[in-house]
Amino acid sequence: MIHRGVPVTEVAGRTVTTVFDIMLAQYGVGRDGLPGEWSTGYDDVDTAYTPAWQEEVTSVPAEAVIRTAREFSANAEKSEGRSMIILGAGICQWYHGDATYRAILAMLMLCGCQGRNGGGWAHYVGQEKARPITGWATMASGSDWVRPPRFMIGTAFWYMHTDQFRSDGYSSDSLQSPLADGHLKGMHTADVIAQSTRLAGCRSTRSSTRTRSTWRTRP
């Protein structure tokens, strides 16, 4: 076990520190006056998370890691946070995807890029941005209130709860198949969402010709 100190203070009779200080201790970034076992530098192969240590694990040259970090942070400083990382779904489909996501977010936050126009995390798959958030499944399913969990698509949630539907002139007529029975004819997008909510737990069945869909509520 590695022991490392963090700066603390007293708040309402409790000893507290910051997430930032805990993170620096986790990565072995030593500071004057703090006790513990710390890395001696970027070339320290015996202490976890240094550029030299990770090279033996990932095969990525330590020099490449150092150069990437310096160039990314230098650009963020000069552009006031406009350093961006663009990625898709590939990371989360591999082992330790969460760790990779967290590493990306950590670098962005440390460089002041998160939440900055022109900077931050640009993920082009959408819902996977929530993957690293601890407890996301509990919040998304409301499973601390009721069982079994029920999920809702995020797009429809924000479409309704931010009143976007009020300025939307779209209707289901634009999406219907010529072979449809017309159950959704003339319905606004918001009406279709409301109906799908009322039919929660329904299932879709197909006829033998595979040209029609019939919605049936469960008993």
- pLDDT at residue number 216: 39
Domain membership flag for residue 171: yes
The DSSP bridge pattern shows strands 14-16 and 9-11 to be antiparallel
- Measured CA to CA, the distance from residue 61 to residue 192 in angstroms comes to 54
**Torsions phi, psi of 104, nearest 5?**
-65, -45
Domain membership flag for residue 165: yes
- Measured CA to CA, the distance from residue 17 to residue 26 in angstroms comes to 14
Domain membership flag for residue 140: no
Domain membership flag for residue 177: yes
Domain membership flag for residue 100: no
- pLDDT at residue number 56: 93
- pLDDT at residue number 207: 35
SS (H, E, C) the chain: CCCECCCCEEECCEEECCHHHHHHHHCCCCCCCCCECCCCCCCCCCCCCCHHHHHHHHCCCHHHHHHHHHHHHHHHHHHCCCCEEEECCCHHHCCCHHHHHHHHHHHHHHCCCCCCCCCEEEECCCHHHHCCCCCHHHHHHCCCCCCCCCCCCHHHHHHHHCCHHHHCCCEHHHCCCCCCCCCCCCCEHHHHHHHHHHCCCCEEEECCCCCCEEEECCC
Looking at the structure of the chain, the number of domains it has is: 1
Domain membership flag for residue 47: no
Domain membership flag for residue 185: yes
Domain membership flag for residue 134: no
Q: State which residues form the domain around 163.
A: 152-216
Q: pLDDT in tens for each of the 219 residues of the chain? A: 788 999 999 999 999 999 999 999 988 898 889 999 899 999 999 988 899 999 999 899 999 999 999 999 999 999 999 999 988 777 777 777 778 888 888 899 999 998 888 899 887 765 555 555 555 666 666 666 666 666 667 788 888 888 888 888 888 888 788 888 888 888 998 998 888 888 864 444 333 333 333 333 344
Peptide bond into 148 cis (omega under 30): yes
- Measured CA to CA, the distance from residue 73 to residue 79 in angstroms comes to 10
Tell me if the pTM is above 0.75. Answer: no
- pLDDT at residue number 72: 94
